[in-house]
Amino acid sequence: MRDINYTKIVFIFLAMIFLSCFLTSCNDDDSKSDKNNSHEGTWYRDADGDGFGDPESTLTQTAQISGYLDSSGDCDDYDATVYPDAPELCDGKDNNCNGTVDENACEPYSQKLYGRISNFNNAKAYITEESYLQLVPYPAYGQMLFTTDTQGRRVYTSDLAVINMPSDGAFVFETFGLIPGQYVIAAQLVEPYDPASKMSPVLASAENQPKIIVIPENGSTSFEVDLGNVILPLPAAVVETQAGPDMPTGISASDGDFEDKIRVTWNASPDITSYEVYRADSFSGQKSMVTSTTATVYDDTSLPCGEDYYYWVKAVNASGSSDLFYSDLGFVRCPLAPGTTGDGNEDPAAEPGDPVEDPENPVNKPVILDAPTGADASDGTFADKIQITWNASPSASSYDVYRCLTCCSTKVKIGSSDTTAYDDFDVVAYQPYVYMAQQSLTQQSYFYWIKANNANGVSEFSEPDTGYIMIKPPPPTGVRASDGQYWDEIHITWALTPTASSYEVYRSDWGSETKTIIGTTSNSIFIDTEVEPSTHLVRTYIYRVKAVNAAGISDFSDSDSGFVYRTLRDPVWVRATNGTLNGCVEIKWVSVTGASKYDIYRAYALDGEKTKIATVNQPTVLYRDSTTTCPTIYYYWVKSVDAKGHTDRTFSLHDIGYCVAE
C-alpha cells in the first residue's frame, strides 16, 4: 500500500513538470521567468543615432548589439536634434528634453525689414525734424486710416515700430511677432504735398506702387525682408521759367484760306520789342524759327499744299522771351482742277465749244475725298506701340494720323502713311499710383483720327477710336497649392490673367524668404514633382506666381502653402520578445489612430533587406512570428496602413527579437 502511494506521488510530480513546460511553449502566453535567462546589462535603443537611448525601448542581455546604448534619456528617439542637453533651436521642439519648447531660442532674433530711399535727397525738401518712418498695416480692402494734424500733415494710424528719419536714406526696422498680413512703411509728419499732386507720403517702389510687405502665417518666426531701393512719391518738380514778357495769346494759323501761304496771326503782348514765329510739321516735332517780326501777322509762303503745320509765337523784350505754349494748326489750300469751282459745279464762264462734263467720266470734276472709315487702334496688343489701321478712301494718296488724350482736346498730327496702317511708337504705358482699394493696374488710352489726302485736298476727320499700349500684367490671383491630395507631387493653380502670355512659378521653404523659380507655363496650373515623397513628416512649401507678357513681369502673387500626401505615423512603441518564447518571436505595438491595418517587416540586420512577413487588421496590436530560426536575432518594424492603403515610405522605429529552441 505504501509503494502504491509513492508511485502516485512520483507520477503527479512528473505530470506537473510536463504541464509547466507546456504552459511556457510558443502556443501559450509569454510566461517564462527571467530567472531562466541570466542577463547582466540593460541596453537602450538609439534609433536616431544621437548618442542617447530611448528609456522606453530596452534590451536586457550580456552583450551590446548594434543600435543599442547603455545611456538613456532621449525624449524623441526619432529626431537627432532632440536629446538631453542639446542646444535649443527655434524649431517648435523641446530640443534639450527639459519640457520647454524653443526655450530662449527665438528671442535673440527679430523680424528685420531694411531698404534704402533712393530719392532721399529730393525728398529732403519735405522732411522736417518731426518726420519719422513707421510700419503701418495695409488693408486688403478700403483705404488706409489716417488723421490730419493742425499743419495739414497726413499721419497714418499705427501703433507699430517707429524709427527716426535716416540721415542717408538707409533704414532698418527690427520688430518682434508681427501678425500675418500686409504692411507698408509710411513717412509720417512730412511737409504737406501740393494737393494737386494726389500723392500720399508712403514708401513706394520704382514703379510708383506701394511697397507692400507680406508677413507669412508663421510671422513670429525670424526672417528678413530686403525692400531694395524705394522712393517717396513726391509732387512733380516746379520748373522755373526765365523772366520775360507774357506769352502771346490768340495764335491762329489759316486753314486752307490761301493757295500760296499760311497766315499766322496773334494778339499783341504788352512791352515787347519783337515776336519770334516757330513752325513744326507735328505737335511734338522739331520747332524751327521761321521769322522775327514786330508785327502781329506773318505769311508763311513756299509751302506744299494740303500739309499740316503747327505754329508757336514767342514775345521778346530786353528781359528775355516768353515760353512756347499756345499753338495752332494750319495748311495751304490745294488749287482746284481747271474748269471747276470750289463747290464742284461746272464753270459758268465756260465758252461754247468747251468740253462738257461726261457724267460717266468726270475728268473735270474735283476729287472730293471721303473721310476714312473703320479706324481701329490696338488695345494692349503690343508692348512698344499702338497700331492704327483703317479702310482705304477712294482716290486717297496718303493719310495723316492724329492723336490726343481725350475726345475733345486738341488733335495733334503725329505722322503720315502711304498705307492704311500706322505704328505709334511715341506712347508709353501709363500706370498711375495705385491706392489702397485698387488691386489692378490701369493704362492710358489715346484717341486717334485719320484724314485722307491727295493733290486736290484733305478729307474730314474719320470717326475716332481709342487704343493703348500693352502694360506688364498684374500679379495673378487665387493661387492655391494642393494640401496632401497627391502622393508625390503638389498641384498649383491660379486664375488666368487676361494680359499674361505665360507664368513663372516660384517655391520656397516654409518660413524662408528665398524664392526659387521652378518652372514656367502658359496655363493656369503647374505640377511640382520635385518635392520630397510622402511620409508622415512631409515638408510644407510656399508657392507664388508671376504673370509675364511682352511688356514685363508682374510682382509676386499672394502665396499659398502646399504639401504632398501625409501618411500615418508608424507605431511609436514596438516590442519584440528576446528569448522568452520557444520557437517564435512575439511582436507588440501601440495602436495608431486612423490605421486600418498594420504591416510587419523583418530583416537580419538593421540595414538589411526588409521583408513583409504579415499584415494584421486593426485593432490587433500583436503578432507571433513562428517562421524564425532560434536563436537568430531578427529586426522587426511595424508600419501603419491608412484607409487608402498607404504607408510611410521610411522605416524608423524597430526592435530586435529572437526565440529559443524547443
Provide the pLDDT for residue 7: 58
Provide the pLDDT for residue 226: 77
Residues in the chain: 662
Is the bond preceding residue 137 a cis peptide, omega within 30 degrees?
no
Residue 270: DSSP 8-state: S
Same fold yes or no, 252-330 and 574-660: yes
Is the CATH code 2.60.40.10 the one for domain 480-562? yes
What string of H, E and C letters represents the secondary structure of 543-585?
Answer: EEEEEEECCEECCCCCCEEEECCCCCCCCCCEEECEEEEECCE
34: helix, strand or coil:
helix
d(C-alpha 564, C-alpha 45), whole Å = 31
Per-residue pLDDT, averaged over 518-522, amounts to: 93
pLDDT tens digits for range 164-179: 888 888 888 887 667 7
C-alpha cell at 324: 512756347
Asked whether residue 538 carries a pLDDT value surpassing 50, the answer given is: yes
Given pLDDT bands bounded at 50, 70 and 90, which one contains residue 443? low
**Half-sphere exposure for 585 (CA within 13 Å, toward CB):** 28
d(C-alpha 574, C-alpha 592), whole Å = 12
Fold classification of 574-660 is Immunoglobulin-like (2.60.40)
Lowest-confidence segment of 304-313, 401-410, 424-433 by average pLDDT: 424-433
| Sequence-ordered list of residues with C-beta below 8 angstroms from that of 616, at least 6 positions apart, any chain | 597, 598, 600, 622, 623
Contact 633, 65 (CB under 8 A): yes
Provide the pLDDT for residue 368: 67
Asked whether residue 4 carries a pLDDT value surpassing 60, the answer given is: no
How do strand 578-582 and strand 655-660 relate by DSSP bridges?
parallel
d(C-alpha 587, C-alpha 423), whole Å = 82
- Amino acid in position 187: A
Residue 25: DSSP 8-state: S
d(C-alpha 308, C-alpha 342), whole Å = 20
pLDDT tens digits for range 262-283: 999 999 888 899 999 999 887 7
pLDDT tens digits for range 566-580: 999 999 889 999 999
CATH code, 252-330: 2.60.40.10
pLDDT tens digits for range 590-640: 999 999 999 999 999 999 999 999 999 989 999 999 999 999 999 999 999
- Amino acid in position 647: T
- Amino acid in position 642: D
Question: What element of type H or E holds 17?
Answer: helix 2-23
Contact 542, 507 (CB under 8 A): yes
Provide the pLDDT for residue 568: 92
Angle subtended at Cα 35 by Cα 32 and Cα 36, rounded to the nearest 5 degrees: 60
d(C-alpha 347, C-alpha 367), whole Å = 15
Provide the pLDDT for residue 177: 67
Q: Where are the domains of the chain?
A: 1-31, 111-230, 252-330, 376-467, 480-562, 574-660
- The four Cα atoms 173, 176, 181, 185 give a dihedral, to 10 degrees, of -20
- Of residues 8 and 356, which shows the higher confidence score? 8
Contact 256, 332 (CB under 8 A): yes
d(C-alpha 153, C-alpha 441), whole Å = 28
Contact 198, 433 (CB under 8 A): yes
Is the CATH code 2.60.40 the one for domain 111-230? yes
Per-residue pLDDT, averaged over 496-521, amounts to: 89
Residue in this structure with the C-alpha cell 526696422, named with its chain if needed: 173
Provide the pLDDT for residue 291: 92
Entry pTM: 0.45
| Sequence-ordered list of residues with C-beta below 8 angstroms from that of 608, at least 6 positions apart, any chain | 635
Given pLDDT bands bounded at 50, 70 and 90, which one contains residue 426? confident
Provide the pLDDT for residue 438: 34
pLDDT tens digits for range 379-424: 888 888 999 999 999 889 999 999 887 666 678 888 899 999 999 9
Provide the pLDDT for residue 225: 76
Provide the pLDDT for residue 338: 55
Partners of 37 in the β-ladder:
none
- Considering only CA atoms, give the Rg of the chain: 45
Q: What is the percent of the chain with per-residue pLDDT over 70, rounded to a whole number? A: 77
- Of residues 292 and 408, which shows the higher confidence score? 292
Provide the pLDDT for residue 359: 41
Instruction: Specify burial of residue 218 (Cβ count, 10 A radius: 0-12, 13-18, 19+).
Output: middle
d(C-alpha 461, C-alpha 452), whole Å = 8
Is the CATH code 1.10.357.10 the one for domain 376-467? no
Instruction: Specify burial of residue 431 (Cβ count, 10 A radius: 0-12, 13-18, 19+).
Output: middle
- The Cβ of residue 657 has, within 10 Å, a number of other Cβ atoms equal to 25
d(C-alpha 313, C-alpha 321), whole Å = 10
